[in-house]
Amino acid sequence: MSLIKENIEEINKRIEKAALKSGRKKEDITFVVVTKTVDTERMKEAACCGEVNFGENKVQELTNKYDSFGNEIKWHLIGHLQTNKVKYIIDKVELIHSVDSVKLAEEISKRAVQKEISAKVLLEVNVAKEESKFGIKPEKLEEAAKEIALLPNVEIKGLMTVAPFVENPEENRIYFRQMRELLVDINSKKIDNIDMEVLSMGMTGDYEVAIEEGSTLIRIGTGVFGERFYPIKTKEEN
Ligand SMILES: *Cc1c(COP(=O)(O)O)cnc(C)c1O
């Protein structure tokens, strides 16, 4: 059996266990396979195991790989998105996880209107308030959500976070819990066009804790494909 297949089977078992701990089923958790830096051949191995959700963090890499797959694949844009690149992916992705400003949401709305589609988005929250991270600060979230909810052709499906890099995943439990509280709190205000259900949180190092705390979508790269190798960039690419 290939290593990728073994890894996927192991992760699916662990998802099931963690889901049970939070009173849910495996089917309640979406497993997004993070494919950044991974070539399409290895991605096809993952697809052969039945995984259909792929996550990319760069627009160009997503569009480069897009045509190598059929429409059974659901693409997720999980990395920081610049407004001038929205047009390249707006009709290719299932879900944009990384909406971190009203300005970006406005551009998504504009492009979605042009294409006559409805764009599904998550609001990225910098829940641990890390300087190095993108995302809306928790105290600004409700205000941003209210503004974004007014935009045409944009559906706020939920929240996303990239938790701090930690040795012990227990250290992130508090942040995952806060994310769920934010979602429940905003939903309880019954704001027009805001009824969130997706909590995109948990990566290779901490997905079980995230699921225990209510994650509905995990994003896993290293756990599936092993360590990533970033190609050395030439000057032009930088
Ligand atoms: C790379 C990446 C992941 C996956 O990280 P792993 O630790 O390899 O599982 C998840 N989310 C985002 C936003 C990423 O950029």
Cross-strand partners of 96: 77, 121
- Separation in Å, CA 62 to CA 75, 93, 103, 117, 177: 8, 9, 22, 19, 31
Contact 11, 226 (CB under 8 A): no
Cα distance between residue 138 and residue 150, in whole Å: 20
Could you identify the atom of ligand 1 that is nearest to the CA of residue 204? 9
Q: Which residue blocks in 116-213 are alpha helix, DSSP H?
A: 141-149, 173-188, 207-212
**Average pLDDT value for residue range 93-98:** 98
How many CB atoms sit inside 10 A of residue 233's CB?
8
* Average pLDDT score over residue span 12-36: 97
- 34 CA distance to ligand 1 centroid (A)? 6
* Per-residue confidence (pLDDT) for residue 238, from 0 to 100: 42
Residue 229, pLDDT score? 82
Inform me whether the pLDDT recorded for 236 exceeds 80.
no
43 Cα–ligand 1 center, Å: 15
135 vs 14: CA distance, rounded Å: 28
Residues with C-beta less than 6 Å from any ligand 1 atom? 34, 36, 57, 78-79, 162, 203-205, 219-223
Q: Which atom of ligand 1 is nearest to the CA of 207?
A: 9
**Above pLDDT 90, what percent of the chain?**
94
Best probe residue, ligand 1, of 15, 35, 57 (max atoms within 8 Å of C-beta): 57
pLDDT tops 90 at residue 135: yes
The predicted structure's pLDDT at residue 233 = 61
Give the range among 62-66, 116-120, 232-236 with minimum mean pLDDT. 232-236
Per-residue model confidence (pLDDT) at position 2: 87
pTM of the shown model: 0.95
Q: How far is the CA of 27 from the centre of ligand 1 (A)?
A: 21
Q: Does the pLDDT at position 67 exceed 60?
A: yes
What does the pLDDT read at residue 85?
Answer: 98
- Cα–Cα dist 200/179, whole Å: 10
111-148 burial code (b ≥16 CB/10 A, e <16): bbeeeeeebbbbbbbbbbeeeebebbebeebbebbbeb
- Is pLDDT at 237 greater than 70 in this prediction? no
